[in-house]
Structure 1
């Protein structure tokens, strides 16, 4: 769409059209905001007028869609209060009209908008939108929800889960040929690879995204990609190579009034020049950053003032209620004193009894308070102990990752150097070194799995699903001749919580069974199925390998370990195998 055509649409839509049709309202609401080459304020006016035109013809969905577009524009401008108000107005209409696809999309957008302000609430909104979209198979909404859910997982430092959902979203976008959305998935994948310090792969995906956006003339997306490519060079400490990308992004973000990106570009340029010991440039860009930051902060201060006013009014009303209660208590005391004076001579014994009763009640209340204080101290001590255990767990996992992991990596590197450093090394010794290297690599993978479990007090089925899917993907890559399938029944609750020990035992049983099927059974088909029957979960690993004779073979360490892990989670495990007919491993454990 050319710039002249967009300007023509804008001019036509800003005029009040009493004969505006639903089709005209929808055509404006479907415009791609990032591709509109007109000022941001003009875009706001465009959708405000479209909402009014939709109201004139009583087209409620048109009104809601216009509010949806307005919330996106306000979000790019950093006007978060207006963006939130527009979001709420749209959701009210979608709920009233029972438009589940729009609701799913909007809950996802609300969650994404809260990602840096309130991550737990952001995850709740995103999961709500995800549940609606998945239940109704709304692929058009799921492609963006999966992508944005991956961003929240990345912010929460769950990089494996982030990559899992980025790829799920990309798969749907490729299926639907979403030429606008595909570059966003590539960019998000690139960001996750960057956090994993896989800089070459990160740069590859950012460049793919940039080339697609240049074709589509997605100005905001182009600016973001330039900044992100600069960030990759910064992560590699290639300061001079990062500067041109920041300078390419900055004029676009200024032109499009993308305040958050403009502020970030200034901050990055200031940091780069500081690293290069160029004090004048570093100071200049920091001053520009501070000016933009103050303008954005002013909006946030207004929001805080409004919130404080509400809080003040609420507190004032509560104080009035407390004063009224105090007055009632005072009046009640006056009445009691008067009655006591009148009937004092006749009710002396009654008064003494009443005083004794009051004293008894007071003492009883005091004892109850002391008991509650004791319970509170015990609970606090328990929480403190749990916190210390969690800190200890995190410290140990960091030590394992930083020390043991680094040492194992050094061993692999040293072995490779030995292999390729000596030209006359024997074949037997070479094979031996290769086996040691492979064993050390496997140890690193198992160490990462252990660290993953140690960093979590509780593990959901969703976390377990991602971990199992990643393991099966690695196994698939390692064995080209073997076909894998992984299925979780619909009646399995993905939010079910396991302790870290339970989750790790389940994962290790699957890992051991799959490895046995690959190494010993020589299977070319392996299935992993999880289902629920009443109050039991059932886990099955089925292969079509060569099997074994159950009556004549002794259980080795691997099978005994699987039985031991099953007992630790209160379950039982069965092995069913026949020669040349494969093996079935069945684990049952209580919900």
Structure 2
């Protein structure tokens, strides 16, 4: 009876273990680019899968989850996290001697670093290609050849690129790889475009797009829209290219594919520049710069280098440990004989623990259900935040593209009125000039508002760039005035303000400088930002005509500054002496 109970318990445990492995493998086989859920949710799924595999000591499943995480982070432009997870994966693959996974790892790692270090990317991919060819791993080679062709294309070796694309396509068609075939078509189309064969390029891109639309491959669809836009750009058909890039952009933003997002912004900026639409060109270039700075930071590159050094060091240490393990093997053989004797005693102890383990397993299941519920709640919250961010971007685009364009049209129309009618009176001409000037100022204020809307937080560094740009415009408008702008070394430039706080601070500085230029006739204006006693102190001073504080009502400008300071719970002090100048001091608590 006791033996039967033990066999039953063992069978149940083995069956649960096998089912858990199947579940882990099925999640790891998910096609990352084809998942139509937010990228942060995909990260959470594979993190949880890695934890589940680790919990049941399923090393291959854990490594596959890390490998998928490295791909997701790569698409997001988080190269340090991508490198960190890929190193975790390869360490386990090498330990298990899984040649197909090792080949795939080196191939994907090389491909992911193509824009950071092309020479190193080539060498890493060649290592993966050699392992796959040596072991005749067709399922790996079909993607390796395709991605290796991309590196050849980047290196301007177009004939070699086409050769590898065709080799990869042949294997995919042989295995009926309906998801992979569109990638080969897209890459071949890109080479045809570079060779000037635009019709053939467009034909292959459309083949790829139609296949991806059937599979709802979001990232692939976004890439094809961008690529078709590039073909029209190469033919200088700018108006045909614009809608295609605009179809790609919201998909790449939603899927957090930062490399494609920044590339789309750059293409739109270049197109609008060619069409002499300077407002739109500037807007999309600013968006491109913001995404580019977040992806290609020096800190990320330094962290990747450090991770690679750490991996190489650990690898050497493991080789030393392996040699020691071989020496300890003989000693272990002797211990095994002794262990067998004690094993019988341990069996009795294990039977006693069996009931406890079954009880504990049930508790773990309950805890797992609770965590899954928490994860679903977190995913829902993330999705809501993504929708809010998309709405902010849409509103800012509408403000810029619609209202900005309408204001520009008003300025153009007023200028046409002034120069189109020779008999306009001086009073009416002055009135039209005033309206044109006011409309131009409104456009600048609209850009500042869009700038603040597109940021969840604003740092002193962001303010410095914006204020410097404003002062540069002021310097051009008033050549006789000497401007000085300084941020003290004690100020933490990375301190975060909300977008509302940052915008109000910027407007107060802008108002004070404008007052000094328009009314005080100042020859010197100084803007100084300091940190004192857990406070930030912003001082705008001038040597202008000043005014009598006792006999002055303040005017709209001064009242606006006081209102903005009150809105962000800051103190403002305005001091002025006739013929000696004015100073505006804004004190913000940290």
Structure ranking higher on relative contact order (CA contacts 8 Å, 6+ apart): 2
Q: TM-score, normalised by structure 2?
A: 0.48
